[in-house]
Structure formats: C-alpha cells, structure tokens
Amino acid sequence: MLLDLFITHWTEAWEIGRKAFQMLALQIGVDWNQVRVTLVHDGSERFPAEYFAGFPFAVNQVELTHRGIAAVRNWCIDNSEAEFIKWCDFDDTFSNVFAMKSVMDALKKDGDRFDLIWFDLLWYMDGRVYKRTERNPVFIHDKVFRRKFLIDHKIRFKEDLTWCEDSAFLAVVEMEIDHQRIGKIRCDSPIYLYICRQGSLCNRPEIKFKNLQSFFDRHCYVADEFLKRGMMDPYYTMCVRIMADSYYTLARAPGITEDKSTHEKRVFDWYENHREAFKACRPEMIPEVMRAVNKEDFDGGYITFDQVITWIREHEKESAA
C-alpha cells in the first residue's frame, strides 16, 4: 500500500467533517487500492456506516479515548501499513477533485527519491482565502511523510504538548532529514484547504496566555532534541529564542489578565539550568534569532536582544535582593 490517509476527529459534529469525505469521494483518477482511509476518533464514538455508503473507498474507523492529538498521530505512525503517511484534520478538506491524483502521481513517480513531499495549500480565515506557497514550518497538513524515515530516526509527536505539537514534530524532522530528499508536488492548484474555524479550540482569544505558554513548552522540547542529537549551535540559538519569546509573554504581551507568576518561575528555573547555553550562542547568530522572534508579528511591538538582556538582569537583581 502506498498511502495511509489519517483523518483525526475530536468531538466535532458530522456536519463539520462531511465536506472532507464528500470531496474525497469526488477525487478523480485515484486507485483506492493504493490508499487506506482511516478516521481516528479521539474521545468520540464512530459514525454510522451509512454516512460513508457509496464512497469509492472504505473508511476504517478507530476509537481512541481522549489521548490528545499528539498521541493520536503517534498511534497513526505505529499502526500505519503504508509507505507514506498523510494527516488531515476533520474540519479541513482537499481543495479540488484532482488533489489526491496529484499526490498519488507524485508518490508513484518520485516517491523513492523523497522522505518528505510537500505542496501548496489554501488557508481560510475570517471569510478570506489565502494561498500558502512556502514550505510551512508550523503545519503538517501540506506534507506527506515516508513512514520508514520517521521510524528510523525515532521522530514522534511529543504527547504532553497541548499546543504546537505539529511544529515541534516538524522541527525534529528538519534536524534529521537530508534536504536532497525533500520534494514538492507542482500542480496548477493548491491541494489542501486548511480551515481556521471561528470558535475552534485554536482560534479563541481567551486562551492567548495558555497558547504563549505552549510556545515555551514547544521551544524547550526542541532545544532538548537539539542537545540530545548533538546539534550544539542550534541548541544555543534555541535557548536565546526561548528567553526572547518569554520576554514577550511575560513583559510585553498585551491583553493578558491572568497571574503570570507561576509561568515566570518556570521560565527562570529553566534559564538557571541553561544559562551557559544561552551565553554560548555565537553573536553573529543573534540577529537571525531575533528575526525569527519578530517574524511572529507580535502585537507588543518589535523586540530587541538588548531588551531581553535587560529584562533578565532586572529579574536577577530582584531575585538577589
């Protein structure tokens, strides 16, 4: 089998995900013997079989019990029987009727050459559609992965991350992959439609502080992976990134009314254990790190490395007093 297509479902109603299956059923020129479609429920019961009646493919439904999206995706890696893996969200869809053919043609023609194949996608948000043509480092939805590559390099989703688990996963992929084995599917239209639903868990303004704390957890995990894999310069630069992002979260981010003291203690406890790595970052790497920080378009204004250093020193003075 060439491709395992995993569609992950939390508790959304069938009406939200129906379009994904309807579009999948409309795909033209696909040999469904080469594709297994699995709907993985995390915390909800399987849908009635008649929902999928008449589709040109079988839908394998699996029930897991509130494991979280990272654990669900690890289950997919462990239980895949195909050469390649593609993940889709339940509330997204393929963007045209030739999308799957484009994917399968690329895997048949050039699959042996690549461990990761990516493609353009469409992003729907606030009533507007945007075309994304970069190899996005945050989302897995525009990518197909060779399962053996993930297994051989022990690349998994970190299961205690409640946010940014896919960008953390991709960061480890980038650490291990030979960039000559990354390919792009070139076709006339984007393949995937990512839908940022208003009211979805990832789009609620009231959990802004929780999200920012999750960035910290994500960055700490990536730093640990760099260190574990002996990649010291990236480890040092990630340590700087962690403190720069934490400066934004704790000192600059507007609109946060929650008590920050617990997270502040976590940040500076981490800093005490990684102080020397923070200092070991080569000066010529600092501008690149700060560009990455400010690329996030923070609404607290532009952040400089000098501001981060001043903030750390002020905290150290307060702690010593």
Q: Which of 306, 208, 293, 311 is nearest to 251 (CA)?
A: 311
Asked whether residue 258 falls in the same domain as residue 199, the answer is no
- Angle at 228 (CA atoms; ends 222, 232), nearest 5 degrees: 80
Pair 194, 294 in one domain: no
Q: What are the b/e assignments for 107-117, b being 16+ CB within 10 Å?
A: beeebeebbbb
**Which of 47-56, 255-264, 287-296, 297-306 is predicted with the least confidence, judged by mean pLDDT?**
297-306
- Render pLDDT for 233-289 as a digit per residue (tens, 0 to 9): 999 999 999 999 999 999 888 878 889 999 999 999 999 999 999 999 999 999 999
**Domain tally for the chain?**
2
Residues 117 and 40 in one domain: yes
Q: Helix (H, G, I), strand (E, B), or coil: what is residue 26? A: coil
Q: Which of 153, 186, 203 is the last residue of a domain?
A: 203
Q: For residue 52, what pLDDT band results from cuts at 50, 70 and 90?
A: very high
Question: Which residue matches tokens 């080569």?
Answer: 282
pTM: 0.90
Do 95 and 57 belong to one domain?
A: yes
Q: Answer yes or no: do 67 and 56 share one domain.
A: yes
**Residue of higher predicted confidence among 4 and 256:** 4
Q: Does residue 83 surpass a pLDDT of 90?
A: yes
179 and 216 within one domain: no
Instruction: List, for residues 191-207, the tens digit of each pLDDT value.
Output: 999 998 665 555 455 67
194 and 279 assigned to the same domain: no
- Nearest Cα neighbor of 41 from 72, 74, 18 is 72
Q: Answer whether 120's CB lies under 8 Å from 191's CB.
A: yes
- Which domain range does residue 86 map to? 3-203
Order of strands, sheet of 59-64, starting from the edge strand that comes earlier in the sequence: 59-64, 35-42, 3-9, 84-89, 143-146, 116-118, 182-184
- The domain that holds 189 is classified in CATH as 3.90.550.10
Q: Do 242 and 187 belong together in one domain? A: no
